[in-house]
Structure 1
Amino acid sequence: MFHNLITVLDWLGIVAFAVTGALVASRNQMDVVGFMWLGAVTGIGGGTVRDLLLGLPVLWIEHPSYLAVCIAVSVMIFFTAHLAASRMTLILWADAVGLALFAAVGAERALSANAPPLVALVMGVITACFGGMIRDLLSQERSIIFSREIYVTAAATAAGSFLVLEALGLSREIAIGAGLAAGFLLRAGAILKGWSLPRYRPRPPQP
């Protein structure tokens, strides 16, 4: 049952990420190919970078259904962007679930490839965030890493929580579930309360 839940959330995250990519294409008034490109990059870009860095088979090449869903969602948004944009709150929450889940699962995939825990933590963050970063770079928009709200930190929390619990000997299901919950709750606080980390404040140089 837990495996089925993770699968459902995984697809929910893929769809939410692809939708956000396609909506960026709509703001830039791109053609349908641009929609497909940004949707796919956002949906599977982070996992692609992770697998390439770890020397693993790229997930969407082994399972083309991931790419097919990103393309299908992006084409749908090309015709319905005005409707999707009016439901950004729902998309934002789905994105939060995907962010936390992808971070935890990305860390697990790295750990299963015998990566050290610190590397697995970074790979979890890459899985969750790099698709959006590539999307922002391609569309010349302000990157998510410059957002005042907690985003990347939520991904790191999800991956880190999974790794700590896994090191303590807890089952995969419990570790991933706890990582998902920790990352999602932190991101939820950022969405609802505007949580952010302290910012650097310039100070005059000391003589």
Structure 2
Amino acid sequence: MTSQIFSPDVEQVLDLAGIFVFALSGGLLAIRKNFDVFGIAVLAEATALGGGVLRDVLIGAIPPAAFTNLGYFVTPLVATLVVFFLHPEVARINLTVQTLDALGLGLFCVTGTAKAHDYGLGVVASIALGMLTAVGGGVIRDVLAMETPSLLRWDRSLYAVPSLVGSTLTALLISIDRLNTLTGSTAALLAFVFRMLALRYNWRAPRAWHRGSSNTGEH
């Protein structure tokens, strides 16, 4: 199966690392929203596992991996405890959290695309589900916290686009039968670098053309 890009042990470690960092971001938002410990745990779990669960349900990988691997479910709870007791310290290393988050983004868009392909989806659908794996948890997090999802906000640096690039490259590698540990890592690294550059230079997607004039009724 093409989804086994890395060895099982390596992929397990990478998955858990990505889940942990995504859970931290969910927990930190819950703290800012003044949620109690249960709310923090819910937001951490949803952020860390939401994208993968949605992907697995859509492709028919039932039950989702999040419910068959105890480590996937427990890791966000560990992140919950970290932010509950140490949230000022975690908030102070925000750049580190964002860097690790970008790494998780790169990993999940690649493995998500590959898994979707393994379940018989075509190129476009596999790309879409790869991106969903990477950003879906963040959307669920923001909706639960009653905020406009970050990837829909023009005032936030690019997030979905780097995952789309990584997913697209992965799908292309699959189509030419060149997806392996090296090329998969390259695709993940490209998405990671893209995301970090977007953070560094505040890259944003363009808004509607002539948006200002259309609001005033000018032609």
**What TM-score results when the alignment is normalised by the length of structure 2?**
0.88
Whether the 8 Å contact between 1:35 and 1:75 is mirrored in structure 2 is: no
Q: 1:131: which partner in 2? A: 137
Moved more, 154-163 or 9-18: 9-18
What is the identity percentage for the equivalent residue pairs of Structure 1 and Structure 2?
A: 27
How far apart are the structure 2 equivalents of 1:79 and 1:206? 54
What's the CA shift for 1:5? 4.5
Q: 1:99: which partner in 2? A: 105
What's the CA shift for 1:136? 0.3
What's the CA shift for 1:176? 1.6
The structure 2 residue matched to 1:73, chosen from 79, 82, 86, is 79
The structure 2 residue matched to 1:15, chosen from 20, 29, 53, is 20
The AA in structure 1 aligned to 2:43 is L
How far apart are the structure 1 equivalents of 2:207 and 2:14? 33
The structure 2 residue matched to 1:176, chosen from 175, 184, 187, is 184
- Write the mapping of 1:192-207 to structure 2, written as runs, cut at 5 A: 192-201=200-209, 202=211, 203-204=213-214
How far apart are the structure 2 equivalents of 1:100 and 1:71? 23
Whether the 8 Å contact between 1:161 and 1:182 is mirrored in structure 2 is: no
What's the CA shift for 1:113? 0.5
- Aligned-residue Cα RMSD (Å) equals 1.8
What's the CA shift for 1:198? 2.3
Moved more, 67-76 or 102-111: 67-76
The structure 1 residue matched to 2:174, chosen from 152, 155, 166, is 166
Can you give the 5+ residue segments of structure 1 that lack an aligned partner in the other structure?
Answer: none
How far apart are the structure 2 equivalents of 1:171 and 1:18? 29
- Write the mapping of 1:3-152 to structure 2, written as runs, cut at 5 A: 3=7, 4-57=9-62, 58-145=64-151, 146-147=153-154, 148-152=156-160
The AA in structure 2 aligned to 1:191 is L
How far apart are the structure 1 equivalents of 2:184 and 2:15? 12
What's the CA shift for 1:156? 0.6
Q: What is the CA deviation profile of residues 93-152 of structure 1, one whole-angstrom value per residue up to 9, with x for unaligned ones?
A: 000000111011000110010111111001001101111101100101231111531100
How far apart are the structure 1 equivalents of 2:179 and 2:110? 13
**What TM-score results when the alignment is normalised by the length of structure 1?**
0.93
How far apart are the structure 1 equivalents of 2:193 and 2:11? 17
Whether the 8 Å contact between 2:28 and 2:83 is mirrored in structure 1 is: yes
Q: What is the CA deviation profile of residues 27-79 of structure 1, one whole-angstrom value per residue up to 9, with x for unaligned ones?
A: 01111111110000000000000111111120111112101111121122111
Q: What is the CA deviation profile of residues 11-42 of structure 1, one whole-angstrom value per residue up to 9, with x for unaligned ones?
A: 22111100000001100111111111000000
Aligned residues: 207
Residues 12 and 116 (structure 1), Cα distance of their counterparts in 2 relative to 1, 3 Å cut: same
The AA in structure 1 aligned to 2:113 is A
